[in-house]
């Protein structure tokens, strides 16, 4: 729900509560006033009748408005509501009734005065309806005005949101936000412009650093590897300990080179530097990878079952596609015991690879984290599956791992 709609909804509910509360208070206050006025009218009428009796004037009853009876005994005065059939209206009506017992000129009188409450109720209803209509009209007018005012005030804010949505840190052009005469929005614009400017600068610096690192580090590593290979090739006069040291240096140099390439790849993916997109045939990539890795899985005497229901194509960078599937297939070959089985299945919207294994991965929740290794003694970098996860996230693929019946399975939903 948008901010303006949220505010309008809250205002509407608050206004409704105010209207209902106001009408309720008005009802009770007005009714109390009307009842008080009715009582005053009854006592006034009773007083006039008493004065007529004191002056020994003849006063006759006028039912149901007032009645006069001579009685033997006096009783306490009472004021009550009563229902009386009104011949004129031909229906039962509610009356407020005052009963007064008084001795006048040595005679005991029971004086009854009544007033019709329906008239007062009609008056009360009219007041409530009139007040309700007025307050609702006033509130709706204020609500519409506030809604239009909010739309006008918040227009620069919503425009700036659209500008922010279109903003890219890869752009060389600084962001231009909609100006506003509201101090809070102006201050927000200043902070956003400063923040986006810093983000763009940091991004371009990081991109430059990545490119420089890729070139400057890989070159000396390649030279070191070449020098070590030359030393090993001419190692006839070297002692066995020295030769072993050279092999260790060579292995660690290769490991460092591989680590450098992997970290640079992760950084490039984070920085969204892969823009070349083409329709990739998953079937073709898998067939090529299996052919390239044939010597390895044949050496381990692995049985690989590859099935595909249809030709599956996905839109992504070719180099990332090669890395994605080679890491998964290479991981399965590496961690499947000799004479084991690997199954690869492709559907129109998914890729599955499974291999047999004796134990479930203990840290399956950390499986796709960088540098995670199930076996701490392993020479693996712990970046292969992290790269797979990063590529899947980059293209909004869903990557999952499951273990059941001694079978490890990785699945990608395209």
What residue segments make up the domains of the chain, in order of their start? 3-139, 201-270, 278-413
What 3-state DSSP class applies to 11? helix
What integer best gives the mean pLDDT of the chain?
Answer: 80
Residue 308 · residue 281 · CB < 8 Å: no
Burial (CB count within 10 angstroms: exposed 0-12, middle 13-18, buried 19+), residue 263: middle
Residues making up the chain, counted from first to last? 414
Least confident among 17-26, 179-188, 287-296, 377-386: 377-386
Of 34-43, 216-225, 274-283, 377-386, the poorest mean pLDDT is in 377-386
* Run of H or E including 344: strand 341-346
Mean pLDDT of the region 175-189 = 81
Instruction: For domain 278-413, give its CATH number from 3.40.50.410, 3.30.360.10, 3.20.20.150, 3.30.565.10.
Output: 3.30.565.10
pTM: 0.49
110-169 pLDDT, tens digit each: 999 988 776 666 777 788 888 888 888 887 888 788 778 777 777 888 888 888 888 777
Give helix 3-54 / helix 117-166 axis angle, nearest 10°.
170
Strand segments (E) across 247-340: 278-281, 303-308, 313-316
- The first and second tokens of residue 116, run together, are 């019709």
pLDDT of res. 237: 64
- Rg over alpha carbons for the chain, rounded to the nearest Å, is 46
pLDDT at 350: 86
116 or 329: which carries more pLDDT confidence? 329
DSSP string for residues in 87-103: TTTTEEEEEEEEEEEEE
């Amino acid at each position: 729900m948008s901010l303006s709609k949220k505010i309008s909804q809250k205002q509407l509910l608050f206004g409704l509560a105010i209207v209902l509360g106001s009408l309720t208070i008005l009802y009770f206050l007005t009714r109390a006033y009307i009842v008080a006025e009715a009582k005053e009218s009854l006592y006034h009428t009773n007083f006039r009748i008493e004065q007529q009796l004191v002056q020994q004037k003849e006063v006759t009853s006028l039912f149901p408005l007032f009645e006069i009876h001579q009685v033997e005994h006096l009783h306490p005065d009472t004021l009550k509501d009563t229902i009386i059939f009104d011949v004129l209206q031909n229906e039962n009506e509610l009356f407020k009734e005052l009963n007064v017992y008084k001795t006048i000129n040595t005679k005991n009188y029971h004086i009854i005065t009544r007033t019709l409450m329906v008239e007062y109720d009609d008056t009360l209803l009219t007041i409530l309806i009139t007040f309700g209509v007025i307050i609702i009209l006033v509130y709706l007018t204020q609500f519409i005005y506030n809604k239009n005012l909010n739309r006008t005030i918040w227009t620069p804010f919503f425009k700036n949101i659209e500008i922010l949505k279109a903003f890219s840190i890869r752009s060389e052009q600084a962001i231009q936000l909609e100006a506003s005469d509201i101090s809070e929005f102006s201050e927000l614009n200043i902070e956003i412009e400063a923040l986006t400017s810093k983000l763009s600068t940091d991004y371009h610096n990081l991109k430059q650093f990545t490119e420089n690192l890729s070139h400057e580090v890989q070159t000396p590593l390649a030279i070191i590897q070449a020098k070590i290979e030359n030393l090993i090739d001419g190692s006839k006069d070297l002692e066995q300990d020295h030769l072993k040291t050279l092999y260790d240096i060579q292995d660690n140099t290769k490991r460092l080179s591989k680590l450098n390439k992997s970290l640079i790849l992760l950084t490039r993916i984070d920085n969204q530097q892969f823009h070349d997109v083409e329709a990739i045939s998953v079937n073709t990539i898998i067939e090529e990878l299996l052919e390239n890795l044939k010597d390895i899985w044949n050496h381990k005497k692995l049985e690989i079952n590859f099935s595909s229901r249809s030709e599956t194509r996905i839109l992504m960078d070719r180099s990332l596609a090669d890395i994605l599937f080679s890491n998964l297939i290479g991981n399965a070959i590496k961690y499947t015991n000799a004479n084991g089985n690997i199954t690869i299945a492709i559907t129109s919207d998914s890729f599955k690879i499974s291999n047999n294994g004796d134990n479930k991965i203990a840290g399956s929740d950390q499986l796709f984290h960088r540098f995670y290794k199930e076996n701490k003694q392993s020479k693996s970098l712990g970046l292969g599956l992290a790269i797979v996860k990063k590529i899947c996230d980059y293209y909004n693929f869903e990557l999952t791992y499951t273990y059941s019946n001694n079978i490890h399975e990785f699945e990608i939903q395209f």
